């Protein structure tokens, strides 16, 4: 099972995918060591701030366990948008006292959890930018190769199109010649 981790520090978010089972059973709000996730994150202390499961249901800190639950929410966490308006006209403001029943997941990380949001509490020796930039540069070389390959393919396609454009011109010339021949035959028959 792969977890998508979003590690945020001072307004920047770094994304990481990991297969560690270390996170299973942890709860929202718990603190974990960075080296447990990835050896390069040694010295970092991270806090789990939120989760999301494979269907997109968010994990709520107040709900114990890992099961899905339907809870009654007021405006705030998990209910930010206005309810759908019915009919035409101006959208109405949220009515005072409006509550909606929403499905949420418990606060425990399980095999159904896909995304885990983490916040840096204590920074390590290396900056996160340095750690994740190394991983990004490896993929950049492959990306450049892919771009070059795409350019070659596009150039080949252009050549094919130009060749196909010449063919209709040739066909048009052939049609004109045939039409001229027909006219000559008509004149001879007269």
Q: What is the pLDDT of residues 93-137, one digit of tens each?
A: 656 777 888 889 998 999 989 999 999 999 888 888 888 886 554
Q: SS3 for 98?
A: coil
Q: What is the pLDDT of residues 4-52, one digit of tens each?
A: 999 998 888 889 898 888 889 999 999 999 888 888 888 899 999 999 9
Burial class (CB in 10 A: 0-12, 13-18, 19+), 24: middle
Token representation of residue 149: 């390959």
Cα separation, 177 vs 131, in Å, equals 70
CA angle 161, 166, 167 (to 5 degrees): 95
Q: SS3 for 28?
A: coil
Residue with tokens 């004149």: 187
Cα separation, 127 vs 138, in Å, equals 18
């Amino acid at each position: 099972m792969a977890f998508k981790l979003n590690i945020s520090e001072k307004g920047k978010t770094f994304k990481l995918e990991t297969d560690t089972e270390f996170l299973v059973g942890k709860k929202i709000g718990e603190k974990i060591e960075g080296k447990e996730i990835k050896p390069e994150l040694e010295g970092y202390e991270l806090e789990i701030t939120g989760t999301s499961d494979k269907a997109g249901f968010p994990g709520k800190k107040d709900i114990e366990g890992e099961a899905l639950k339907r809870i009654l929410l007021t405006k705030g966490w998990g209910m930010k948008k206005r309810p759908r308006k019915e009919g035409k006209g101006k959208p109405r403001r949220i009515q005072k006292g409006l509550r909606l029943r929403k499905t949420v997941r418990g606060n425990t990380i399980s095999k159904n959890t896909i995304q885990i949001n983490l916040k840096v509490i204590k920074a390590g020796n290396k900056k996160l930018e340095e750690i994740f930039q190394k991983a990004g540069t490896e993929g950049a070389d492959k990306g450049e190769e892919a771009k070059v390959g795409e350019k070659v393919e596009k150039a080949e396609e252009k050549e094919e199109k130009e060749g196909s454009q010449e063919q209709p011109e040739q066909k048009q010339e052939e049609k004109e010649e045939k039409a001229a021949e027909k006219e000559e035959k008509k004149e001879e028959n007269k």
